[in-house]
Structure 1
Amino acid sequence: MITFVPLTGFLGAGKTTTMIATAQALQEQGRRVAVITNDQGVELVDTALVRSKLDSVAEVTGGCFCCRFEDLVDAIRALVDGAGDVPVDTVIAEAVGSCTDLQATVVRPLRAHYGDSMVVSPLTTVIDPLRYLAFDRAARRGEPESDLSYLFRQQLTEADVIAVNKLDTIAPDRATELMARLAADYSNAAVVGYSAKSGDRVDDLVKAWDGPSGNHAVDLQVDYDRYAAAEAQLAWMNQDVRLTSEAPLDLTAWGRQMLAALGSWANCAGAVVGHAKLTVEAGDGDFAKLSLTAAGAEPTVDRAAEKTATTARVIVNARVACEPAELDAAVREAVATANAATGARSAATAPVSFKPGYPTPVHRLAATGA
């Protein structure tokens, strides 16, 4: 019997680091864990990071799990069937950060069609406390709810577990208040605070997956027009850039310069950053991975390169609330800024920014059909 652990949560919440940290915690308990990444596009930065940490990794691209349901099932089967002498017993999967309604479109269909071979754990929504507080402040000021805020709220409403990541980024008294407010506002969910980056209280999250799945018995009322509009606010870019340099290039420094420039542009343009991530990989496989989760913020180094190099490949995944052409231009300018700061030269593939199409789930089961 396979245990399947579904993760959801808004862009930039730290689902990938959560997936890695919990997978490692489960492995320490003797579990044999595989993971699945997911995105609307291809060439996923997160997959490269996960493969540097874990052995069994798959990805579902070109749409969320709800619209690529059979691809998700195929990925689970491939991980289990390809495990060799030590079979996988647990699969953790992170859905696209702009996706919601997973109880009806993923959790219940998996239970209904594959329940004889799979135990589906409580649906876990990962949140960044600073992102939550920003949305909450707007609501408390009486501002009209934006489509992005609506999407964020729906992700919380359908959660069995609300996983408050990066709890160490806010003061202890604010953390206590935030946890209490979430527990009161979303009483059907267990609320767990932790830090995937430091590993603090990750075991508490793993324990929560053994608890009951309360919200699978509740129908989430989703306005799919608003859901689609929220996704369409974001331009999605997956860009491939090749770097060369006469002198040895600090891969991490180049990535930091590039994301800082992109974040500065977003701040000036008033563009909400869902997330922007990149890897800078040398030919020998060494790579740096960095993230940006807010306009004007300091980039986060998720993995530093160990060596310098004179050639490298950059993969950029950016999700920003703007028009695709604006994001294309901003990324080009950010690359140029990083080149000027580090002495690198670059050649890029044609931009592939796009806006997601209307979400069309393969299945949507009501709670009474669970």
Structure 2
Amino acid sequence: MITFIPLTGFLGAGKTTTMTAAALALQERGRKVAVITNDQGVELVDTKLVRSKLDAVAEVTGGCFCCKFEDLVEAIVALVASDQVDTVIAEAVGSCTDLQATVVRPLRRYYGEQMVVAPLTTVVDPLRFLAFDRAVQRGEPESDLSYLFRQQLTEADVIAVNKLDTIKADRATELLDRLRAEYPNAAVVGYSATGGDHLPDLLGAWGGPSGNEAVELGVDYDRYAAAEAQLAWMNQELDLVAVGETFDATAWARSVLEHLSAWAEATGSLIGHAKLTVGTGEDDFAKLSVTGAGEPPSPDRAADGPTAAARAVVNARVACEPAALDRAVQDAVTAADQAHDVTSSATTPVSFKPGYPRPVHRLAAAGA
């Protein structure tokens, strides 16, 4: 019997970092863990980073788990068969919701004899929560993106407040208490996936009850689709060559994201996340990310040193039109090329907006 641990949560919440840290912690306890990444596009920055730390990794691309349910099941089966795993952690696309009805219940109904499905966990960035909350406190109408964010919290069995070390202790306590009061069906835990603080609390919550298993949660699919349609999604690959002998790949990546972050701030464009890897291979690459307009890039990994050539992958999810995101990334790359004496050639921009979510299964709560 394997254990399947589903994660959801808004873009930039730290789901991949949480998934990786949890997998490593469970392996220290003797579990054999595999992970599955998920995205609307292909060429995922997160998958490359996870593969640098874990052996058993799969991905489901081209749609969320709800619309790619059979692909998810096939990935689980393949991981179990090839790597003899006993635990699978999977992170859904950051703009996805309604996973209780479209993923958790179908897995329990159709595959309950082969797997135990852990409580659905929604990973939350406290600064993102507070940003959405400020709009509510100002009396602004709830945006479709804010609706999506709230639905992810409403359906959670576990609300996992990541990056708790980014806010003051008294504010963290206040936030956790508030979430417990507003979402009584969920276990609320605070932790830091990067620092490891209180991570065991999250692992313990996965062995607890599923508070929303018998609750029917209504989802307005038109608003859900409208929220996803506000985001432009880009995955782009670039080949980089030094004008001189070598260039600093990590510094080049930082420049790209700094320019993209500044553009988003200047245009008022919400950044779900912007992630970039650049390097010479599977073992030598830098990975940086930005999760808020105007914020500096956060380094997850640095390249080994200067290089004459490298390959980069950009994943950007921004609330704007696809053409605007294409131009912004192109301008950011041009600026980084000029600053670091690099010549780059890129694939054709492929920014897009997701289509209407059409889950394969949608099961009502028992007794509903």
TM-score (norm 1): 0.98
SS of residue paired to 2:188: strand
Going from structure 1 to structure 2, the CA distance change for 1:369 and 1:5 (only over 3 Å counts) comes to farther
Deviation of 1:142 after TM superposition, in Å, equals 1.0
- Which residue of the partner structure matches residue 36 of structure 1? 36
Q: 2:155 aligns with which of 153, 158, 168?
A: 158
Query: 1:175 aligned to 2:172?
Result: yes
Aligned letter for 2:340? T
Judge which range, 244-253 or 281-290, deviates more: 281-290
Matches within 5 A, 1:243-282: 243-245=240-242, 246-282=244-280
Aligned letter for 1:98? S
- Which residue of the partner structure matches residue 188 of structure 2? 191
Matches within 5 A, 1:6-25: 6-25=6-25
Query: 1:200 aligned to 2:192?
Result: no
Matches within 5 A, 1:107-122: 107-122=104-119
Length, aligned pairs only: 367
Q: Distance in 1 between matches of 2:185 and 2:282?
A: 48
- Which residue of the partner structure matches residue 127 of structure 1? 124
SS of residue paired to 2:176: helix
Query: 1:78 aligned to 2:75?
Result: no
Q: What residue ranges of structure 2 are gaps of 5+ in the alignment?
A: none
CA contact (8 A) 1:283 1:311 kept: no
SS of residue paired to 2:213: helix
SS of residue paired to 1:215: coil
Going from structure 1 to structure 2, the CA distance change for 1:136 and 1:284 (only over 3 Å counts) comes to closer
SS of residue paired to 2:308: strand
Deviation of 1:369 after TM superposition, in Å, equals 6.5
SS of residue paired to 1:53: coil
Q: Distance in 1 between matches of 2:214 and 2:303?
A: 46
Q: 1:359 aligns with which of 340, 343, 357?
A: 357
Deviation of 1:69 after TM superposition, in Å, equals 0.1
Q: Distance in 1 between matches of 2:26 and 2:245?
A: 43
Going from structure 1 to structure 2, the CA distance change for 1:114 and 1:284 (only over 3 Å counts) comes to closer
Aligned letter for 1:150? Y
Aligned letter for 1:23? A
Q: Distance in 1 between matches of 2:330 and 2:280?
A: 21
Q: 2:306 aligns with which of 305, 308, 314?
A: 308
SS of residue paired to 1:156: helix
Deviation of 1:247 after TM superposition, in Å, equals 2.8
Deviation of 1:219 after TM superposition, in Å, equals 1.2
Q: Distance in 1 between matches of 2:267 and 2:213?
A: 40
Going from structure 1 to structure 2, the CA distance change for 1:356 and 1:284 (only over 3 Å counts) comes to closer
Q: CA RMSD in A?
A: 0.9
Matches within 5 A, 1:134-149: 134-149=131-146
- Which residue of the partner structure matches residue 289 of structure 2? 291
Aligned letter for 2:140? E
Q: Distance in 1 between matches of 2:23 and 2:339?
A: 38
Aligned letter for 2:36? I
Deviation of 1:284 after TM superposition, in Å, equals 6.8
Judge which range, 149-158 or 136-145, deviates more: 136-145
Q: Distance in 2 between matches of 1:4 and 1:98?
A: 21
Q: 1:344 aligns with which of 342, 345, 357?
A: 342
Instruction: Work out the percentage of aligned pairs sharing the same amino acid.
Output: 73
Aligned letter for 2:363? L
Q: Distance in 2 between matches of 1:283 and 1:96?
A: 26
